[in-house]
Every structure is written in structure tokens, then in C-alpha cells.
């Protein structure tokens, strides 16, 4: 079975003028093509360097990143993952077992664009491969290779978004705050009423057996 593989290697380097950049090496068959991207632009928000969310500030920063990353659905560049293709045995009509439409995606969890605080959850998913410390996803639902690639990238985006969202401790909503405030006021009113009642009883007891003038 013919398997067509594309692997992409990212190397941090400096451009001739000293500006940060990424140099990509794209391997397709026996051909290797180098691509230079200035500025290290991936189209994805950079996550804060947090392995745990311990403070309110940590949670706020993580929540802000999740919001930005959530808006980047479908924008994970193919250059950030390793893709391979093989013949599909699933749906696909006339293309099944004839062309390499099945897409397999592998994403290293060592990459800096993946939030550190999401790693424990990602490592517990059935898509985690411990031997390579990576996420492995496949798609055969579409007839074309390109559509199955997009499907894998969308799966990866959803998986990371979910894993990054779960550890975030969300503060109470305004409705919850008002409810708690109302309960506290009611409890305070009850305590005040009970205190006045006890005081009244004590005064009544102290008046018994007194003299009339």
C-alpha cells in the first residue's frame, strides 16, 4: 500500500536582519522544499507560560487565551503538524481503495503553541501516544484528501480548546452573585430578628417579680 507522507520541521532561527523567524522544511516523497516565514507568524495566539492555574490572574490569562484560540477554528496551519496519507477503507465512493484520501495527523505536545496547563488532560485522551508524546488523529469521512486534512485540523482545534478550558476556574456570574447577596441579606435579617427576640425575652424575664410604685 502506497503511503504518501509529509513531515514538517520547524526550526527557530534569525533572519539576516536579526528579526525572529521560522524556517520550515517540507518533505514530500524525495523532494525537500525550504520556506522562510518572517516574524514567526502562525495565525494562532501565543498561550501564557503557565503549567498550572493557581491564581485568579492565572485563570483570567488562560481564559483570555481560550477566547482568542476559540476564534481561530480552522486556522491551525498544516505546517505545525505532521501529516500522512493512505488508502481509505471508509466512505468515499469511487475513491475508496484507489487513492490516498485517508489523512492521519500527528501533533507534538512539545510545541510552544499548545498551552502547558492543558497537557495533563490531553495526555488522558484516547488520542494521546505516549511513546512520541503526541496527539494522533485520523479522518476518512470525506472523499478528498484536502477535506480530510481540514477535518483532522478541526478535531485538533476542538481537542485543545476543550483541554485548555476544563482547568479554568470560572468566577460566579452576576446572577449568582445577586443570589448569594440576597441570601446573605436574608440570613443577616434572620439573625437580627432572632437577636431582638432573645433580647425581648430577657427583658420580660427581668421584669417579673418587680415592685409596683
**What is the C-alpha R_g of the chain?**
30
**To which residue does cell 478550558 refer?**
165
Write out the H or E segment, with its range, that includes residue 134: strand 134-139
Percent of the chain surpassing pLDDT 70: 66
Q: Identify whether the C-beta of residue 115 lies closer than 8 Å to the C-beta of residue 47.
A: yes
| Lookup result for grid cell 505546517 | 79
Q: At what angle do helices 145-165 and 56-70 cross, to 10 degrees?
A: 160
**Tens-place pLDDT, residues 151-176:** 999 999 999 999 999 999 977 656 65
Contact in structure between 116 and 51 (CB atoms under 8 Å):
yes
Task: Report which of 154, 125, 123 is spatially closest to residue 138, judged by C-alpha positions.
Answer: 154
- Nearest Cα to 140, choosing from 102, 85, 99? 102
This prediction's pTM: 0.61
Please choose, from the candidates 149, 129, 127, 27, the residue with its C-alpha nearest in 3D space to the C-alpha of residue 77: 149
Average pLDDT along the chain: 75
Residues 33-56: what's their mean pLDDT? 69
Please state, in angstroms and rounded to a whole number, the distance separating the CA atoms of residues 10 and 58. 29
Give residue for cell 446572577: 175
By three-state DSSP, how is residue 13 classified? Answer: strand
Confidence of residue 30 (pLDDT cuts 50, 70, 90): very low
Look at residue 174 in the predicted model and tell me its pLDDT: 63
Amino acid at each position: 500500500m502506497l503511503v504518501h507522507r509529509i513531515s514538517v520541521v520547524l526550526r527557530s532561527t534569525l533572519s539576516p536582519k536579526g528579526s525572529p523567524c521560522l524556517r520550515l522544511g517540507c518533505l514530500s516523497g524525495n523532494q525537500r522544499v525550504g520556506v522562510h516565514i518572517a516574524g514567526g507568524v502562525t495565525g494562532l495566539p501565543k498561550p501564557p507560560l503557565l503549567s498550572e492555574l493557581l491564581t485568579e490572574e492565572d485563570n483570567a490569562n488562560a481564559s483570555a487565551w481560550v477566547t482568542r484560540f476559540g476564534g481561530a477554528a480552522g486556522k491551525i496551519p498544516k505546517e505545525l503538524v505532521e501529516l500522512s496519507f493512505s488508502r481509505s477503507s471508509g466512505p468515499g465512493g469511487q475513491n475508496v481503495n484507489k487513492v490516498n484520501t485517508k489523512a492521519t495527523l500527528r501533533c507534538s505536545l512539545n510545541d510552544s503553541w499548545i498551552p502547558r496547563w492543558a497537557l495533563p488532560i490531553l495526555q488522558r485522551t484516547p488520542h494521546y501516544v505516549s511513546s512520541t508524546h503526541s496527539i494522533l488523529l485520523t479522518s476518512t469521512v470525506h472523499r478528498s484528501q484536502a477535506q480530510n486534512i481540514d477535518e483532522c485540523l478541526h478535531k485538533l482545534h476542538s481537542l485543545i480548546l476543550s483541554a485548555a478550558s476544563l482547568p479554568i476556574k470560572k468566577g460566579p456570574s452576576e446572577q449568582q452573585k445577586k443570589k448569594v447577596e440576597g441570601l446573605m441579606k436574608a440570613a443577616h435579617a434572620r439573625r437580627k430578628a432572632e437577636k431582638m427576640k432573645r433580647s425581648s425575652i430577657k427583658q420580660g424575664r427581668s421584669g417579673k417579680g418587680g415592685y409596683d410604685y
